[in-house]
């Protein structure tokens, strides 16, 4: 039987918050095929807003209700939405996007709308990144087969990753940094103290805890939002915000960004406006590329 080729999307949007969904709606209005990949369908940040008073036309609406309206609108316009945490995007003739669960997607343009993570980096985190410190246990876990590892979990999504590590590592220590129940399987040891520092010079050697040092070969920090510079190599960032011009273009051709990930103010109205601009700029980019006649050899 002939296998169907996976589609090459015109627009791949990372994040289903206000910025990503506004980009999706406007991409669809311009008749582009649009895929939104998002770690959660909707935005945890927006969902947390008890009452939004400053979004034009909706003087008293809850964040949850606004989010449901945004999602319905994007779906009704024909945008495809899939739950997936994007791990890496590789530029090339087309963009290739890899998700944490190893799905692969291709697109002609990309809009980053992944929001921000307002947490502080742990001491040692930046220095030891790639040297025993990672953000994806399923990607890098196999390197530490048979060894002791730690997971610092800022989201319940980390429980599944810890379960995977427990299948291949000797000991898995789990440090939950979120509220609510912790559901990890056998083989994962839950620790209730908070790591103060990641230890090691050339490589990770352990964690500094209030009760003393815990030797481990690797530490995985699982957050809701991955630092933007990790998504695409070479993306220019300043103070945690993706650098964009007025067209919401980043320094990488074909990659646009919108919403909280481009910096303050962290507001819905700004995210929606930037999502619209990013979509229109991406459409312009795609149309220009299409009209370029290949040079004769
Ligand atoms: C408690 C609270 C109250 C607020 N009240 C207001 C208010 O009254 N008025 C106002 O204007 N603003 C308010 N805000 C701010 C507002 O919610 C944000 O500015 C807005 O949600 C930003 O939209 P965004 O699309 O840029 O990012 P977000 O809404 O953060 O969405 C980002 C999306 O990207 C996804 N994502 C992240 N990383 C990845 C990845 N690697 N792969 C795939 N998907 C990924 C996330 O899952 C999420 O879906 C409030 C925020 C909070 C927390």
Residues having CB closer than 6 A to ligand 1 are 14-20, 37-40, 43, 45-46, 48-49, 52-54, 85-86, 113-115, 225-226, 259-260, 266-269, 271
DSSP letters spanning 182-201: ----TTEEE--SPP-EEE-S
pLDDT of residue 230: 76
Give the tens place of pLDDT for each residue, 42-73: 888 898 888 898 999 999 899 999 999 999 99
Confidence of residue 296 (pLDDT cuts 50, 70, 90): low
Give the tens place of pLDDT for each residue, 252-270: 999 999 999 999 999 999 9
Q: Which atom of ligand 1 is nearest to the CA of 49?
A: 3
- Site to substitute for ligand 1 among 13, 63, 99, most atoms within 8 A of C-beta: 63
Q: How many whole angstroms separate alpha carbon 13 and alpha carbon 21?
A: 8
The domain limits of the chain are 8-117+226-291, 125-222
Percent of the chain exceeding pLDDT 70 equals: 95
User: Is the model's pLDDT at 297 over the cut of 60?
Assistant: no
Q: How many whole angstroms separate alpha carbon 20 and alpha carbon 229?
A: 18
Least Cα distance to 110 among 6, 5, 38, 36 occurs for: 36
| Crossing angle (nearest 10°) for helices 18-29 and 268-291 | 40
CB 102: neighbour CB atoms within 10 A? 9
User: Is the model's pLDDT at 294 over the cut of 70?
Assistant: no
Q: Which CATH architecture has domain 125-222?
A: 3-Layer(bba) Sandwich (3.50)
| pLDDT mean over 289-294 | 76
Give the tens place of pLDDT for each residue, 126-182: 889 889 998 888 778 889 999 999 999 988 889 989 999 999 999 999 999 988 899
- Site to substitute for ligand 1 among 13, 16, 17, 136, most atoms within 8 A of C-beta: 17
Least Cα distance to 85 among 36, 128, 126, 149 occurs for: 36
SS3 content of the chain, % helix, strand, coil (to 5): 30, 25, 45
Q: Write the CATH number of the domain with boundaries 8-117+226-291.
A: 3.50.50.60
Taken in order 24, 28, 29, 31, the sign of the CA dihedral is: positive
Q: What are phi and psi of 38, to 5 degrees?
A: -145, 140
Give the tens place of pLDDT for each residue, 85-139: 898 999 988 999 999 888 999 999 999 999 987 667 899 998 898 899 988 887 7
């Amino acid at each position: 039987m002939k296998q169907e080729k996976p589609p090459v999307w015109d627009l791949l949007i990372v994040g289903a918050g206000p910025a990503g969904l506004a980009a999706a709606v406007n991409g669809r209005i311009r008749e582009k095929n649009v895929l939104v990949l998002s770690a959660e369908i909707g935005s945890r940040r927006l969902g947390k807003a008890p009452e939004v008073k400053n979004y034009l036309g909706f003087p008293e609406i809850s964040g949850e209700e606004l989010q449901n309206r945004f999602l319905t609108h994007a779906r009704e316009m024909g945008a495809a939405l899939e739950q997936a945490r994007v791990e890496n995007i590789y530029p090339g003739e087309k963009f290739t996007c890899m998700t944490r669960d190893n799905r692969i997607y291709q697109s002609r343009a990309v809009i980053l709308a992944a929001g921000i993570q307002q947490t502080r980096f742990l001491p040692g985190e930046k220095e030891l990144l790639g040297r025993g410190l990672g953000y994806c246990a399923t990607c890098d876990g196999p390197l530490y087969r048979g060894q002791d590892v730690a997971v610092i979990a800022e989201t319940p999504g980390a429980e599944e990753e810890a379960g995977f590590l427990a299948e291949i590592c000797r000991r898995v220590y789990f440090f939950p940094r979120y509220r609510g129940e912790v559901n990890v399987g056998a083989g994962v040891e839950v620790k209730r103290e908070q790591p103060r520092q990641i230890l090691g010079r050339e490589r990770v050697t352990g964690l500094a805890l209030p009760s003393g040092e815990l030797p481990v070969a690797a530490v995985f920090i699982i957050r809701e939002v991955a630092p933007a510079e990790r998504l695409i190599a070479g993306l220019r960032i300043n103070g945690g915000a993706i650098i964009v011009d007025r067209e919401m273009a980043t320094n990488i051709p074909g990659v646009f960004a919108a919403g909280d990930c481009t910096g303050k103010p962290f507001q819905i109205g700004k995210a929606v406006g930037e999502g619209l601009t990013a979509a229109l700029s991406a459409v312009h980019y795609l149309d220009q590329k299409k009209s370029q006649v290949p040079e004769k050899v």
